């Protein structure tokens, strides 16, 4: 737990010992540690999103504003994580996280899987195969992340990947 408002020297030293989050290749069993820094809010959002997709959890963002973000799992599962922006800084810090295990069943329709997230993953595929079909995207997503994706999301993801790849050629 981070103590707020203390300017003591010890506190300053302790603060420097917290790691800054770097996305590991696999978020499936990621150990969330209170105190972890996030260079910006989006890093925390991306971390939670990838964690939800990799581990198949029905997580959603309950609060998301300029100073705080809370991610919660589907009740009765009590997993939750709370991240807040440091005063007068861009940096965010994980303040609270549920240390218990998920009690939710594996989710095969992860809501946090966004077309933007999928689009980023599709970039290499689109570069290799510009004719990548929507059904292939849906199949691959199912195979790779064990979650289904709607056709609408798959179409949007492909468009985003195309635009990104096309843009980098210009």
**Nearest-approach distance from CB 94 to Zn ion, in angstroms:** 17
Under the criterion CB under 5 A, does residue 34 sit at the interface with Zn ion? no
Under the criterion CB under 5 A, does residue 73 sit at the interface with Zn ion? yes
For the range 73-79, what are the long-range contacts, defined as Cβ-Cβ under 8 Å and sequence gap of 24 or more? 73/102, 73/104, 74/104, 74/107, 76/103, 77/102, 77/103, 77/104, 78/103, 79/104
Taking residues 121 to 160 in sequence order and writing x for each that binds Zn ion by CB under 5 A, - otherwise, the string is ----------------------------------------
DSSP string, 117-158: HHHHHHHHHHHH-TT--HHHHHHHHHHHHS----HHHHHHHH
Binding piece for Zn ion, criterion CB under 5 A, among 13-21, 51-59, 85-93, 162-170? 51-59
Binding piece for Zn ion, criterion CB under 5 A, among 20-28, 56-64, 85-93, 162-170? 56-64
Under the criterion CB under 5 A, does residue 79 sit at the interface with Zn ion? yes
CB nearer Zn ion, residue 37 or residue 44: 44
CA distance 14 to 35: 9
**Nearest-approach distance from CB 95 to Zn ion, in angstroms:** 19
Q: Based on the number of CB atoms within 10 Å of its own CB, is 170 exposed (0-12), middle (13-18) or buried (19 or more)? A: exposed
Interface positions with Zn ion (CB under 5 A)? 57, 73, 77, 79, 102, 104
């Amino acid at each position: 737990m981070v103590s707020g408002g203390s300017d003591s020297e010890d506190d300053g030293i302790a603060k420097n010992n917290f790691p800054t989050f770097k996305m590991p290749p696999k978020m499936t069993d990621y150990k969330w540690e209170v105190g972890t820094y996030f260079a910006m809010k989006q890093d925390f959002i991306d971390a939670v999103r990838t964690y939800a997709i990799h581990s198949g959890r029905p997580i959603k963002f309950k609060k998301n504003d300029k100073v705080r973000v809370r991610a919660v799992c589907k009740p009765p599962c009590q997993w939750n994580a709370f991240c807040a922006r440091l005063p007068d800084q861009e940096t965010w810090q994980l303040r609270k996280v549920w240390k218990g295990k998920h009690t939710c069943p594996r989710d095969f329709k992860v809501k946090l899987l966004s077309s933007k997230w999928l689009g980023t993953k599709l970039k290499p595929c689109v570069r290799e195969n510009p004719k990548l079909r929507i059904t292939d995207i849906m199949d691959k997503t199912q195979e790779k992340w064990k979650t289904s994706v709607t056709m609408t999301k798959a179409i949007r993801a492909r468009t985003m990947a195309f635009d990104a790849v096309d843009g980098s050629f210009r």
